[in-house]
């Protein structure tokens, strides 16, 4: 059924298809149709960052930037949903066209540029949500905020969403905000981690509630950079790491008519780079800081291999666009089989 629906949606420009699909999901969820058509996967509970997840397969940030579609997305069997990236002030993002399908590679290139309605809008949406599952909120900085003032934007984001998030992800790895990825390295990273942990402490003291902080990193790092990031996360006491965001490499899609488009490449081409980062992180982190594996999950096998590499949870995005809700159930069952094999 989804194969037919995808064929229709793929006749539309990517952003139009995105809006139509999410609006349709909301209608189908409100009518009860989704429950009848898409039974959720059987529970596979896991405790990560002190949170209880009904299953380890989540939706990555980017699909629902403004938390406008939690009703529909929440009916698809995800173990958790991450919304955003949200910035303190609304921003339109980059000019269109800014999203490109590469179906031959099961991939997408996007240069959306953190297009979102801002913190006030997102907070209003999550404050009255009917979705009862685990909710992550991904925060970023505005494009016109200088890198040296990025800390202020991340503090604002954490403070604004703290009461409503089950966990918060700090995005320092989108390739579509100039200078953002520079925050992943050296003193810039250490200073930012210190600042966000301090803000977490302030909010914890004010609310009496501890909300875990994760950091989302890029796949385009060498082994030394991966070790540096891992050690910096340990030193700062960060609660989780999301590995990884999209890649700026075009090696895997060389020759494709969209290969020259600026932006982040997601889907199959980031599967191996993401695995390399997860393995490198796990060598340093072990079980000290949990890893959320993202990138190139298109079937159960590619979900399970993230867990085998050291991830505790996984997230899907591009694979979900190409495969639909069946990917969630298939991934849960593959991870269940992997865990059963380890216990046997």
In Å, how far from its chain's centre is CA 320? Answer: 12
DSSP designation for 123: H
41 to 38, 100, 231, 341: CA distances (angstroms): 9, 31, 36, 19
CA separation for the pair 140, 158 (Å, rounded): 10
Name the token pair of 332: 């849960």
Please pick, among 174, 274, 302, 331, the residue that the annotation labels catalytic: 174
Torsion of CA 233, 238, 239, 241, to 10 degrees: -40
Cβ partners under 8 Å of residue 146, min gap 6: none
Three-class secondary structure of residue 57 per DSSP: strand
Q: Quote the strand ranges of 132-199, DSSP E.
A: 134-139, 167-171
DSSP designation for 41: P
> Interhelix angle for 150-161 vs 119-127, to 10°?
20
174 annotated active-site: yes
Three-class secondary structure of residue 141 per DSSP: coil
Characterize the bridge pairing of strands 313-316 and 291-294. Answer: parallel
DSSP characters over 206-249: HHS----EEEEE-S---HHHHHHHHHHHHHHT-SEEEE---B--
Active site residues: 174
């Amino acid at each position: 059924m989804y194969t037919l629906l995808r064929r229709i949606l793929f006749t539309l420009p990517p952003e139009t298809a995105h809006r139509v699909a999410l609006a349709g999901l909301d209608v189908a969820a409100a009518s009860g149709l989704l429950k009848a058509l898409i039974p959720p996967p059987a529970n596979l509970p896991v405790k990560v960052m002190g949170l209880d997840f009904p299953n380890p397969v989540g939706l990555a940030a980017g699909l629902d930037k403004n938390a406008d579609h939690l009703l529909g997305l929440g009916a698809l069997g995800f173990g958790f949903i991450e919304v955003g990236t949200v910035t303190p002030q609304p921003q339109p993002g980059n000019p269109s066209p800014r999203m490109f399908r590469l179906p031959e590679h099961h991939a997408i290139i996007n240069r959306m540029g953190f297009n979102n309605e801002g913190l006030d809008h997102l907070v209003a949406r999550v404050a009255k949500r009917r979705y009862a599952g685990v909710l992550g909120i991904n925060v970023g900085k505005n494009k016109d905020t200088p890198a040296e003032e990025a800390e202020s934007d991340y503090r604002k984001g954490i403070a604004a969403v703290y009461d409503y998030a089950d966990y918060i992800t700090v995005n320092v790895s989108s390739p579509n905000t100039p200078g953002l990825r520079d925050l992943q390295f050296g003193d810039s990273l250490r200073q930012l981690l210190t600042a966000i942990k301090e803000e977490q402490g302030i909010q914890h003291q004010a609310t009496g509630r501890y909300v875990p902080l994760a950091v989302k990193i890029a796949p385009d790092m060498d082994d030394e950079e991966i070790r540096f990031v891992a050690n910096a996360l340990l030193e700062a006491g960060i609660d989780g790491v999301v590995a990884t965001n999209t890649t700026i490499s075009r090696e895997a899609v060389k020759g494709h008519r969209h290969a020259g488009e600026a932006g982040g490449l997601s889907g199959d081409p980031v599967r191996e780079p993401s695995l390399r980062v997860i393995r490198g992180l796990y060598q340093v982190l072990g079980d000290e800081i949990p890893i959320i594996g993202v990138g190139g999950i298109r079937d159960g096998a590619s979900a399970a291999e993230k867990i085998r590499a050291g991830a505790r949870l996984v997230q899907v995005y591009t694979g979900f666009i190409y495969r639909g809700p069946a990917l969630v159930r298939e991934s849960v069952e593959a991870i269940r089989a992997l865990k059963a094999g380890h216990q046997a």
